[in-house]
Structure 1
Amino acid sequence: MLTRKQLELLEFIQKRMARDGVPPSFDEMKDALDLRSKSGIHRLITALEERGFIRRLAHRARAIEIVKLPEAMERNAKAGFEPKVIAGDRSDPPRGALAVEAVGALELPVMGRIAAGVPIEAIAEVSHHVAVPGSMLSGRGEHYALEVKGDSMIEAGINDGDIVVIREQGTADNGDIVVALVEGHEATLKRFYRRGGMIALEAANPAYETRLLREDQVKVQGRLVGLIRTY
């Protein structure tokens, strides 16, 4: 399995080669992945080559050949997946909603499904990629996406089947909607509150009870920064 950075680099190379006929330079790769030095790109390229996804040709500048793509990436490329980014009711996109490609889209890995209801086992494997407007990616740091399963966050405007965009971070403020890892193996999407020495994971649906857990039972894995709904 590839890491997120390896997947991002492979997809960036594939798109640039499809557009220009030649792979990007190391400087372009460094800027695209927001790395500080080209040494990080060298490590990613080496890892992709060792896993058989690319091949470097000797004695030629920018000599990178794509040998294969992960299945999910290949399916997305063939399908030309282009979701719409909206907020609001599932049946009526709001006025001014823009297609992703119109607002400077970036690709994020969808790391499986997240429970907005009863916690499910944590999933950390890329299932596919989704286009996300760059303006949705708040601040610096890593971002990823998850598909929502369940209805416990419907009063926060988050429905079953939505894609939530998450910024990786290990802390949260009261009221933040977070991805919380419960007891090391269950992941859930809830509002985060500190109550005395306990952590409250609160649903946005009165049908679900608030869960009170010890601090050592909860690990924040990221904060909600955006929502994608496909019609």
Structure 2
Amino acid sequence: MLTKKQLDLLNFIHRRLQKDGVPPSFDEMKVALDLRSKSGIHRLITALEERGFIRRLAHRARAIEILRLPENMGGVPAPSANQTTAAGAFSPASARPPSTPRSTPAASVLAALEIPVMGRIAAGVPIEAINQITHQIAIPQTMLSSNGKHYALEVRGDSMINAGINDGDIVVIRETDTADDGDIVVALIADEEATLKRLFRRNGAIALEAENPAYETRVLSPNQVKVQGRLVGLIRSY
């Protein structure tokens, strides 16, 4: 039996994993649960881990996976690190409930779609804009939105590490030119540089915020920033 706070936190983590493919930060958890300090979040996380609902992955910032959900949340487990995409990389959206029969190899192929990998994206100092396809990668259909085009980028840098996005990860992006505050986006700066950051609108300006305190937030005028897509999934190789 989970307490209300434990259930609220589990539900918040689950919803964020479904939306962004990465778990929320401890600060975001604290705000969402209206707690005064992160120590309360640490206690809730520990309690959920001890009860077998989540697992923290060692040596990775903000790496939390949901192992199972209580019945009043559908009883559907979230991703397991042992599950892989058709490309052989871990996908937060590739888990299936234990009651679902294992797919045959042919069915697994049908459940995946190939999308283009457009090169590398900087999670740190912006690099040259992405403009050419390097190869294709198979992505589970469950990770892709039913509408819109998608592409993938290889992450270079550590500025988004506290969002669970590490150097060498593959991020799955849905093409869009709009974003809500707090969304992780591919931002094109001055039509020359591309970077992966959280986007916020502040006093008529655009703030591109890292998830690593070593990097400063870049504040730019709206005409300097074009949103090229929003993060919808993450693939990691172990």
- For residue 190 of structure 1, what is the aligned residue in structure 2? 197
Amino acid corresponding to residue 195 of structure 1 in structure 2? R
Give the C-alpha shift of residue 230 in structure 1.
1.3
Give the C-alpha shift of residue 130 in structure 1.
1.2
Q: For 1:192 and 1:93, how far apart are their aligned partners in 2?
A: 23
Give the C-alpha shift of residue 100 in structure 1.
1.7
Q: For 1:117 and 1:188, how far apart are their aligned partners in 2?
A: 7
Q: Per-residue displacement from partner, 1:81-117 (whole Å, max 9, x unpaired)?
A: xxxxxx9667899663422246621111100000000
Give the C-alpha shift of residue 185 in structure 1.
0.7
CA contact (8 A) 1:152 1:208 kept: yes
* Distance verdict in 2 for CA 1:109–1:93, change over 3 Å: farther
- Does 1:165 pair with 2:172? yes
Q: Which one of 160, 163, 186 corresponds to residue 156 of structure 1?
A: 163
Q: Which one of 196, 205, 209 corresponds to residue 216 of structure 2?
A: 209
Q: For 1:93 and 1:124, how far apart are their aligned partners in 2?
A: 33
Alignment gaps of 5+ in structure 1 = 1-86
Normalised TM-score (structure 2): 0.57
Give the C-alpha shift of residue 124 in structure 1.
1.3
1:3-14 matches, within 5 Å, as: none
- For residue 229 of structure 2, what is the aligned residue in structure 1? 222
CA contact (8 A) 1:198 1:214 kept: yes
- Does 1:180 pair with 2:187? yes
Q: For 1:99 and 1:119, how far apart are their aligned partners in 2?
A: 30
Give the C-alpha shift of residue 173 in structure 1.
0.2
CA contact (8 A) 1:88 1:157 kept: no
1:24-173 matches, within 5 Å, as: 96-97=80-81, 98-101=83-86, 104-173=111-180
Query: Which stretch has the larger CA shift, 156-165 or 117-126?
Result: 117-126
Aligned length: 145
| 1:99 aligned counterpart, secondary structure | coil
Give the C-alpha shift of residue 139 in structure 1.
3.5
Q: For 1:133 and 1:90, how far apart are their aligned partners in 2?
A: 26
Give the C-alpha shift of residue 198 in structure 1.
0.1
- For residue 44 of structure 1, what is the aligned residue in structure 2? none
Alignment gaps of 5+ in structure 2 = 1-55, 68-79, 87-102
Give the C-alpha shift of residue 170 in structure 1.
0.3
Q: For 1:88 and 1:170, how far apart are their aligned partners in 2?
A: 34
CA contact (8 A) 1:113 1:147 kept: yes
Normalised TM-score (structure 1): 0.59
* Distance verdict in 2 for CA 1:226–1:121, change over 3 Å: same
Q: For 1:89 and 1:164, how far apart are their aligned partners in 2?
A: 21
Q: For 2:113 and 2:194, how far apart are their aligned partners in 1?
A: 25
CA contact (8 A) 1:142 1:168 kept: yes
Amino acid corresponding to residue 118 of structure 1 in structure 2? V
Q: Per-residue displacement from partner, 1:164-210 (whole Å, max 9, x unpaired)?
A: 00000000000000000000110000000000110000000000000
Percent of aligned positions that are identical: 66
* RMSD between superposed Cα atoms in Å: 2.1
